[in-house]
Structure 1
Amino acid sequence: MRKLPLRRVATLLLPLLLGAALAQTFGRPQYGSFSVVIVAIFAALLWRTPQSSMRARAKRGALMGLLFGLGWFAGGLWWLYISMAVYGGMAAPLAASAVVLFSAYLALYPLLAGALAAALAPPATSRPWHAARGVGAALAFAGAWTLAEVLRGTVFTGFPWLALGYAQVGNPLAGYAPILGMYGVDFAAALTAALLAALTQVSLRGAALAAGLLIILAVAGQQLANVRWTHPTGPQFTVALLQGDVPQGEKFRPERLAPTLSLYGNWLTTLRADLIVTPETGVPVLPEDLPPSYLHTIATALRSHHAQALLGIPLTRGANQYTNSVLGIGAAAPYRYDKAHLVPFGEFIPYGFHWFVRLMHIPLGDFARGTFHQPSFAVDGARVAPTICYEDLFGEQLAQRFRNPAHAPNVIANLTNLAWFGDTIVIPQHLEIARMRSLEFQLPTIRATNTGATAIIAANGRVQAMLPPFTVGVLTGHVQAYAGLTPFAWAASQFGYAPIVLVCLLALGVAIALARTRAR
């Protein structure tokens, strides 16, 4: 009688622990392949149900997906607590509850994936699955998993942080990024995991087929990584990426403003580089609150050095509207970029949640949005596309700037401030995301951050140079602009998320067809 409760506890605890283990693979590219193994174990557990009823299998799969998701997101996004409790002034119990509730919301998506994948898989029996049923179950898992990930990345403005595809930047599956973007890598990783899990379920013939498909996936990914869709254009230009390491607790204090302005003002007026980039809100106040000659002095010095700068600064638009923006300084024509994809609660307040934001003390918490079609900043003939912090998670939205190939970006420039989250895994997690954007578009990415990771990323997604996090310094280097469109850049610019959704639906359709054929 005692064995049943213990077995039940183990059944509930194992997916939770697997999700927590998956969370630890993000921001650690050397362990990215382990993420596939962990998801494979989850898939194998998902299929270990003997119920013949699809409804019963879906119910069990939903519970396992929910528990897996809770471990995954709570284990990988715990640093959100720091922004709310330490810097937002929220009571610790309320901040911790907010992280748990947010993780529970995000876990609804693996819940959906688990329910669908389990429902479409055959019941577990003492006899091995036929090869066709094994392949069908693997396709159903990959399609359901990736479709749920796309939903998580789009519903309520989306939150694709910790998507499985990001953990693959250091392995052969990253080769699918220029073809179908991060979600294409996500699908390849989920399919790989499901085929690994199928090895424990299928017949000898099925195992041989699954092994063959695994080899094809890995080899194809490696070969695709060697295909160049973009090419160098124009001469290299020099960059200076600024990392001020201004503590978040001090950044908006009046007594800290003068040292911050002096630090960045000195860099901007004395450094010699074709392009100088500050972090997000490197200048943390509106232009009208600056010393009268501050921006003019910087612009004059830049022009005398034949240099230009991208300056992170809040701006106004109309009456009582603020924008999280980038100013282009030193160019002949004025340039401004307004952040298009804002952070819920941090930069805009969702309807009905003003009471929640009032519990925190974050300045400028409700910004106006920019558009997804803003022009790039011209530097020595190269088009540099700014993104601000969180919005570089959305490759399909960045792809909108590639709709007109004649004006497509040649370099991506990300301005970020992660000081809200302290010295945590969030910094390498975000670097991993930036590397994926370079892989998708086969363009170099330059990152100027307040606390890290300030880096130069090559068009092949590799980090060429990086400053140590939480140091004050300047990262200098040469950047080669690239021209051309990857298949992902073209398809996403024209059709958004439709191509990867179609892939998922086709996988689910084939899975259903295989199941019906075998049933007959």
Structure 2
Amino acid sequence: MSLLAGWYLWQRMMLALGLGAVAALGLAPMSLWLATIGALLALPALFLASPGWRQAAWTGWAFATGYFGHALAWIVEPFLVDVARHGWMAPFALVLMAGGLALFWAAAFALAAAPARGPERRVMLLVLTLSLAEMARGYVFTGFPWAGLAQIWVETDAALLLAWTGPHGLALATLAAVLPPGVALARGLGGRALLLRCVPALALGLAILAVDGARVPLEGSGKVVRLVQPNAPQHQKWDPDWYPLFLERQIRFTAAGTAPDLVVWPESALPYWLDDAGPVLERIAAAARGTPVLLGANRAEGPRIYNALALIGAGGRIEATYDKHHLVPFGEYVPLGDLLEQFGISGFATRSGRGFSAGPGPVTLAIPGIGAALPLICYEAVFPRDARGTAERPRLLVQATNDAWFGTWAGPYQHLAQARMRAIEQGLPMVRVANTGVSAMIDPQGRITAALALGREGYLDVDLPPALAPTVYGRTGDLPLLVTLLVLLAAAARIQGRNLLPNSD
């Protein structure tokens, strides 16, 4: 019997809500992964105290609402940039986002709560259903995998497992390691019974030691990349009185010192439409002294507008462009945007109506002297599949972002943590350039080799780390894990069906 079996549902939900908030302390910037582990250890007691699937669903929903509510508190920041236009939406956005994402957890708890199963089997089924729910969260309705459980490991050697398992596999391993001991604690078991349930945790620990022991020493490539960080606050970024200053700042940083092998500016760094910026592009090319410049700009093609990255060569010539394909719903585009704009509802980064159009998909850009780069604009680095979406394996990943939208506390650091995960998953260095920071060079093992701090202007010349051999996850993606989860769940359903058959004797 669970320790909480005598509690009312509302009491268990309040406890679950608080534990979920504690679990979010494992994410950046706190990175207190032990807090997440502790909260997850208590989860089986809450789950097993639920007498039916409805109460289990409410319990899971409450835990996840606390978790996402704390983890995504930064989401109110974009609404405060233009308070008169968007401020009224801020509390609704946080509540709806946290409560909506929590529905995935509610479904997982409900599916695992069939009363005919024993407590051990119910919790092991919860491991599977939660893992599947977290994977679905990264895909359904374009996906939003932010604050995934694997993100608690970014500051530890456990993050190296991402090259083998990907984020959803590491989340599964985390749940499988933590929830079984939680069952023992919920049932008051100790001694040998508790130790047996710690075997998956021991296996995870041994796997971490193994990947850490296999870490490959990295040497410099001799290629120098300049990260340009203008530090333009969002409320001033498009102000005609201010954007010339930020543009001149970036040109000055580009012209400084010895010319590097590549210069990278952040997302939407150019305050003009790309197709009309010829004279400015010529100035940028002159400042670069023959070095290619990769910069963010908006561009138009007929009635469509795109959030793009452009590769600028000699004389300001546009050598190649990439159009962002994974857009932020209600940020860069709004479904039925022309209609909703009549009611004052539009995306933050849009200028009118439906906003930006999506590009055709991931592409690589051939950068002279460097090799093929896979560009990711802002939000795209949140999605593991977007970092492996091209037939040609790139030499490096490049994330250009404007994290001024995210405020100055958790949002920018959680975004950075996910960029580090993408580098490990693909075994590739990540060049990350952010308008207000944190701009960083990330090696293929997820380590930050150099960085410009949040909220400061400047530039940084840093050696580009080499790429590692293709990783297991980089080759396979999420499909093997998805198939495994579905097969295990189907087997569990079949066994449950047999147990429910009437006894013919």
State the TM-score, normalizing by the size of structure 2. 0.88
Give the Cα–Cα distance (whole angstroms) in 1 for the partners of residues 281 and 86 of structure 2.
Answer: 39
Cα displacement (A) at 1:138: 4.3
Give the Cα–Cα distance (whole angstroms) in 1 for the partners of residues 178 and 95 of structure 2.
Answer: 27
SS at match of 2:309: strand
Residue 482 of structure 1 aligns with which residue? 467
Give the Cα–Cα distance (whole angstroms) in 1 for the partners of residues 420 and 236 of structure 2.
Answer: 30
Give the Cα–Cα distance (whole angstroms) in 2 for the partners of residues 410 and 94 of structure 1.
Answer: 41
Residue 307 of structure 2 aligns with which residue? 324
Cα displacement (A) at 1:231: 9.4
Residue 395 of structure 1 aligns with which residue? 384
Contact 1:140 1:508 in 2 (8 A): yes
Unpaired segments ≥5 residues, structure 1: 125-133
CA spacing shift, 1:426–1:358, aligned 2, 3 Å: same
Cα displacement (A) at 1:28: 3.5
Contact 1:382 1:481 in 2 (8 A): no
Contact 1:315 1:324 in 2 (8 A): yes
26-35 vs 72-81, which deviates more? 26-35
Q: Which of 242, 249, 264 is 1:263 aligned to?
A: 249
Contact 2:114 2:122 in 1 (8 A): no
Give the Cα–Cα distance (whole angstroms) in 2 for the partners of residues 37 and 172 of structure 1.
Answer: 19
Give the Cα–Cα distance (whole angstroms) in 2 for the partners of residues 67 and 437 of structure 1.
Answer: 30
Aligned residue type for 2:92: S
Give the Cα–Cα distance (whole angstroms) in 1 for the partners of residues 498 and 199 of structure 2.
Answer: 22
CA spacing shift, 1:8–1:375, aligned 2, 3 Å: closer
Provide the aligned C-alpha RMSD in A.
3.0
Residue 129 of structure 1 aligns with which residue? none
Residue 127 of structure 1 aligns with which residue? none
Contact 1:410 1:483 in 2 (8 A): no
1:237-289 deviations in Å (ceiling 9; x for gaps): 10111111111001111222211221112222345211111111111331355
Residue 100 of structure 1 aligns with which residue? 95
CA spacing shift, 1:498–1:374, aligned 2, 3 Å: same
Matches within 5 A, 1:111-260: 111-119=106-114, 122=117, 134=120, 136-200=121-185, 201=187, 206-227=193-214, 235-260=221-246
Q: Which of 492, 499, 505 is 2:480 aligned to?
A: 499
Give the Cα–Cα distance (whole angstroms) in 1 for the partners of residues 31 and 7 of structure 2.
Answer: 35
Residue 273 of structure 2 aligns with which residue? 286
Cα displacement (A) at 1:459: 1.1
Contact 1:173 1:189 in 2 (8 A): no
Aligned residue type for 2:311: G
Give the Cα–Cα distance (whole angstroms) in 2 for the partners of residues 499 and 385 of structure 1.
Answer: 24
Residue 40 of structure 1 aligns with which residue? 41
Give the Cα–Cα distance (whole angstroms) in 2 for the partners of residues 513 and 214 of structure 1.
Answer: 28
SS at match of 1:68: helix
CA spacing shift, 1:61–1:265, aligned 2, 3 Å: same
Q: Which of 386, 405, 422 is 2:375 aligned to?
A: 386
412-421 vs 477-486, which deviates more? 477-486
CA spacing shift, 1:452–1:441, aligned 2, 3 Å: same
429-438 vs 163-172, which deviates more? 163-172
Give the Cα–Cα distance (whole angstroms) in 2 for the partners of residues 220 and 235 of structure 1.
Answer: 30
Give the Cα–Cα distance (whole angstroms) in 2 for the partners of residues 400 and 225 of structure 1.
Answer: 27
1:372-397 deviations in Å (ceiling 9; x for gaps): 34123324243222111110111123
Contact 2:330 2:347 in 1 (8 A): no
Cα displacement (A) at 1:101: 1.6
Matched, 1:76 2:60: no
261-270 vs 240-249, which deviates more? 261-270
Aligned residues: 489
Residue 375 of structure 1 aligns with which residue? 364
1:79-102 deviations in Å (ceiling 9; x for gaps): 222212333634544321222122
Unpaired segments ≥5 residues, structure 2: none
SS at match of 1:377: strand
Aligned residue type for 2:294: L
Residue 410 of structure 1 aligns with which residue? 395
SS at match of 1:409: coil
Matched, 1:298 2:298: no
Give the Cα–Cα distance (whole angstroms) in 1 for the partners of residues 267 and 39 of structure 2.
Answer: 35
SS at match of 1:101: helix
Aligned residue type for 2:295: L
Residue 105 of structure 2 aligns with which residue? 110
Q: Identical aligned pairs, as a percentage?
A: 27
SS at match of 1:107: helix
Q: Which has the higher contact order (CA 8 A, sep 6+)?
A: 1
Contact 1:278 1:311 in 2 (8 A): yes
Give the Cα–Cα distance (whole angstroms) in 2 for the partners of residues 379 and 445 of structure 1.
Answer: 17
Give the Cα–Cα distance (whole angstroms) in 1 for the partners of residues 204 and 227 of structure 2.
Answer: 38
Q: Which of 344, 347, 353 is 2:329 aligned to?
A: 344
168-177 vs 504-513, which deviates more? 504-513
Cα displacement (A) at 1:358: 2.9
SS at match of 1:475: strand
Contact 1:442 1:486 in 2 (8 A): yes
Q: Which of 434, 447, 463 is 1:449 aligned to?
A: 434
Give the Cα–Cα distance (whole angstroms) in 1 for the partners of residues 10 and 112 of structure 2.
Answer: 23
Cα displacement (A) at 1:147: 0.7
Cα displacement (A) at 1:516: 7.9
Contact 1:26 1:167 in 2 (8 A): yes
Residue 131 of structure 1 aligns with which residue? none
State the TM-score, normalizing by the size of structure 1. 0.86
Runs of 4+ residues deviating >6 angstroms: 230-234, 513-520
SS at match of 1:336: strand
Give the Cα–Cα distance (whole angstroms) in 1 for the partners of residues 318 and 436 of structure 2.
Answer: 31
Residue 315 of structure 1 aligns with which residue? 299
Contact 2:226 2:461 in 1 (8 A): yes
Give the Cα–Cα distance (whole angstroms) in 1 for the partners of residues 226 and 129 of structure 2.
Answer: 44
Give the Cα–Cα distance (whole angstroms) in 2 for the partners of residues 451 and 121 of structure 1.
Answer: 54
